[in-house]
Amino acid sequence: MKTVHVQTEKAYDVLIGSGLMEQAGECLSRVAAPCRAAIITDDTVDALFGEKVQLSLQNAGFSVCRMHFEQGEKNKNLQTYAQIMTFLAEREITRSDIIVALGGGVVGDTAGFAAATYLRGIRFIQMPTTLLAMVDSSVGGKTAIDLDCGKNLCGAFWQPSLVVCDTDALHTLPEKIYKDGLAESFKHGVLRDEKLFELLENTDARMNINEIVARNVQIKAEYVAQDEHDTGLRQQLNLGHTLGHALEKLSNYAITHGQAVAIGMVYAARIAQKLQLCDAAVPERIAAALRSAGLPTQAAFSAQEIARVALGDKKRRGNTLRMVLPEEIGRCRMQDVPVDALQEVIALGVEA
Ligand code: GLY
């Protein structure tokens, strides 16, 4: 088992390895004495792993209750949040108890937000079951639900007490969802770890999955430790996301998050090259690596369409939009683009 320490105001560990769901009870015992543990999950994950995790927690002396909601981003909403709050209140979960968020990013974000707000905040642990949640959303304390007017608009920073990544969970993951996580892994390589990028470029990630998850978590942990509340450096993690979010929306979410991040990264690298911030080899290498991992590098939307949607992004600040641009594989910079110039800048990325 690998352990990565996350040095936030309330520090915690991320455990990475095979078979950790069977050891959920021992893992939880590291951070909590026997108490009540409320497992929050979705229907798909519940059917696969709910019993196994519940049994392990019970064997370690925890008194367990469990609820699930219907899988999918559309359920990361106020209704699900209300159901979870009611479930916790009806079971008389107290401040000395703990929530176990078992699932992908939707479960982690929603159950995490419930933990942040139930009784003004109770402890929770993350047990991510997708690659995306392992390498990104389960680490760093961002919790949120979506509102009708936008994603993640209602949320809080609330760090987990522990993150348990059982990489065996990835064996049951549909290929498309697995690749969403790969895109975020490539992103971490482009941001600050050329060796990780090389590993992803030259090997099948599934063959070194514990190593790859651990390296990703280490990078995420470094950003989070330096900027827990996302006021500066952590915004580099938005590489590929500024344009990526616009592409997701324009496609009515037919382009998945990871696919959109992959395309967004290629566009960002092309923009950087045309602004002479990096060599032509950088966008070429990023695009080739993503393509060979089965991720897309181009979408059929114009710079005008992308700019229109990107201008509505919540990351817009006044008259500028912050973009993250690669200078080389392993080093990036943030650049504020005036909204007046946005379409022109995006066109540099869209046009090969
Ligand atoms: N997913 C980006 C962040 O946690 O800041």
Q: Which whole number is the average pLDDT over 36-65?
A: 98
Cα separation of 185 and 115, whole Å?
27
Q: Is 228 in the pocket of ligand 1 (CB under 6 A)?
A: no
Domain ranges within the chain, ordered by starting residue: 2-172, 175-350
- State pLDDT tens for residues 20-50: 999 999 999 999 999 999 999 999 999 999 9
Nearest ligand 1 atom to the CA of 238 is 2
Pocket test for ligand 1, best of 6, 136, 332 (most atoms within 8 A of CB): 136
Q: Integer distance in angstroms from the first to the last C-alpha of the chain?
A: 43
Backbone conformation region of residue 75, classed left if phi is above 0, alpha if psi is from -120 to 50, else beta: alpha
For residue 188, what is the DSSP state?
A: H
**Ligand 1 atom index nearest CA of 140:** 4
Q: What CATH number has the domain spanning 2-172?
A: 3.40.50.1970
CB atoms under 10 Å from CB of 73, counted, come to 14
> Is there a common fold for 2-172 and 175-350?
no
Helix (H) or strand (E) holding 329: none
Q: Ligand 1 pocket, 142 CB below 6 A?
A: yes
The highest-level CATH class for domain 175-350 is: mainly alpha
- pLDDT per position as a tens digit, 158-214: 999 999 999 999 999 999 999 999 999 999 999 999 999 999 999 999 999 999 999
Read off the pLDDT of residues 202-260 as tens digits, 9 standing for 90 and up.
999 999 999 999 999 999 999 999 999 999 999 999 999 999 999 999 999 999 999 99
How many CB atoms lie under 10 A from the CB of residue 85? 15
Average pLDDT across the chain, whole number: 96
Over range 289-309, report the average pLDDT.
Answer: 97
For range 95-99, the mean pLDDT: 98
Mutate to test the pocket of ligand 1, among 237, 241, 314, 324 (most ligand atoms within 8 A of CB): 237
Identify the pLDDT of residue 314.
66
Closest atom, ligand 1, to C-alpha of 234: 5
Alpha carbon of 157 to ligand 1 centroid (Å): 11
Going by C-alpha positions, the residue among 263, 225, 228 that lies closest to residue 242 is: 263
